[in-house]
C-alpha cells in the first residue's frame, strides 16, 4: 500500500479552530521562557517550543514569537491553563507577567515549496515543519489577516489528517503528556547547545546515550483503531495509537512504538 497522493497544487490550506493567545512581558521575559522550554528563545524569534518537567515529560507545546526584548506572544497547544499555572510557579523574582490577549484563528498550510520568513512574518504567529519533501506551516492569525490567504486551495480535515500522517507530524494533545519530546519527534524544536532549562539533563542524557526507547511510525489497518488504544503483538503491548484517519476501506495513522519492535515495519507502514 502506498500513501495516498494528495495534490496540494504547491500550497493548500486547512482552516482549523480558534486558539487563545497570551503575552509574556517584562525585563526577564526572554530569559525566563528560555529557561522554561526546549528551544533557543533568544536566537530563534518565532517557532515552537516544548515545556517539560524535571523528568522531561511534556507539559505543553507553545507557538511563540518574540516581539521585542520585553515582550513575547504565544499560544498553547493543549489550550489549557496547565502551562500557564506551571510557569507561574517558577516566576520567583523574575520580572515577568503573563496576560490574556484574545483569540487567533489557526490555519495549516501544506506546500511543496518553502515559504520565506519574510512572507510568514506578516502573520501574528507561525511555526514550520518539513518532511517527505513537503513543508507544513501553522499560522495563528487575526480575522483581518485571513483574507491574504483566500487564493490558496482549501482542503478538508480528512486530507489534512492524511498529509499529517504522510509527514509523520504528531498533533500533540493531553493524552501524550507522559511522553518526552524526543519520542514524539520534536527534536527540531529542542536546542542542544543552549543553557539549562527544566528537564534539560534528562533530554540530553537520552539524546547523547541513545536511550530514546520509542518512536513514531505510520500504520495501516483494515480494522478500525481508536486514538490511545494499545498495539498488541504476540500478546505484548508494544505501543499505542496516536492518530487515525479512515481512507477508503482502511485506516491510516501514527503510533508510538518501542524501538525494538521497529523491524515489524516495512518501508511505509506497519500493518495492524
Q: Measure CA 49 to chain center.
A: 9
pLDDT of res. 2: 44
Residue with cell 529557561: 35
The vertex-9 CA angle with 186 and 14, nearest 5°, equals: 55
Which helix (H) or strand (E) segment holds residue 160: the answer is helix 157-166
Nearest to 123 by CA among 110, 107, 135, 100: 107
Query: How many beta carbons lie within 10 A of that of residue 121, not counting itself?
Result: 12
Contact 240, 255 (CB under 8 A): yes
User: How much is the pLDDT for 10?
Assistant: 82
What would the grid cell of residue 133 be? 519533501
Q: What is the pLDDT along the chain (272 residues), one digit of tens a residue?
A: 344 455 666 899 999 999 999 999 999 999 999 999 999 999 999 999 999 999 999 999 999 999 999 999 999 999 888 899 999 999 989 999 999 999 999 999 999 999 999 999 999 999 999 998 899 999 999 998 898 888 899 999 999 999 999 999 999 998 898 899 999 999 999 999 988 999 999 999 999 999 999 999 998 888 888 999 988 877 888 889 999 999 999 999 999 999 888 777 665 666 66
Both ends of the chain: CA-CA distance in Å?
13
CB atoms within 10 A of CB 248: 7
Backbone CA torsion sign across 256, 87, 78, 146: negative
For 159: left if phi > 0, alpha if psi spans -120 to 50, otherwise beta; the answer is alpha
CA-CA-CA-CA dihedral for 141, 142, 147, 153, to nearest 10: 30
Amino acid at each position: 500500500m502506498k500513501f495516498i497522493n494528495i495534490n496540494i497544487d504547491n500550497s493548500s490550506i486547512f482552516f482549523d479552530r480558534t486558539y487563545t493567545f497570551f503575552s509574556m512581558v517584562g525585563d526577564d521575559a526572554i530569559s525566563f521562557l528560555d529557561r522554561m522550554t526546549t528551544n533557543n528563545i533568544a536566537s530563534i524569534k518565532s517557532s515552537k517550543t516544548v515545556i517539560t518537567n524535571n523528568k522531561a515529560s511534556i507539559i505543553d507545546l507553545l507557538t511563540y514569537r518574540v516581539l521585542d526584548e520585553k515582550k513575547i506572544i504565544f499560544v498553547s497547544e493543549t489550550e489549557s491553563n496547565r502551562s500557564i499555572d506551571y510557569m507561574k510557579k517558577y516566576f520567583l523574582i523574575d520580572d515577568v507577567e503573563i496576560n490574556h490577549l484574545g483569540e487567533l484563528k489557526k490555519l495549516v498550510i501544506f506546500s511543496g515549496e518553502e515559504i520565506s520568513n519574510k512572507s510568514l512574518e506578516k502573520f501574528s504567529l507561525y511555526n514550520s515543519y518539513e518532511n517527505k519533501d513537503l513543508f507544513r506551516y501553522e499560522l495563528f492569525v487575526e480575522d483581518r489577516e485571513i483574507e491574504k490567504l483566500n487564493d490558496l486551495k482549501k482542503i478538508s480535515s480528512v486530507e489534512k489528517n492524511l498529509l499529517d500522517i504522510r509527514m509523520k507530524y504528531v498533533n500533540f494533545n493531553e493524552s501524550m503528556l507522559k511522553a518526552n519530546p524526543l519520542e514524539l519527534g520534536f527534536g527540531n524544536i529542542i536546542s542542544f547547545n543552549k543553557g539549562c532549562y527544566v528537564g534539560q539533563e534528562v533530554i540530553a542524557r537520552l539524546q547523547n546515550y541513545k536511550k530514546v526507547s520509542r518512536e513514531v511510525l505510520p500504520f495501516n489497518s483494515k480494522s478500525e483503531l481508536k486514538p490511545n488504544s494499545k498495539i498488541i503483538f504476540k500478546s505484548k503491548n508494544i505501543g499505542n495509537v496516536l492518530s487515525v484517519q479512515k481512507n477508503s476501506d482502511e485506516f491510516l495513522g501514527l503510533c508510538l512504538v518501542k524501538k525494538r519492535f521497529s523491524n515489524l515495519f516495512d518501508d511505509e507502514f506497519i500493518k495492524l
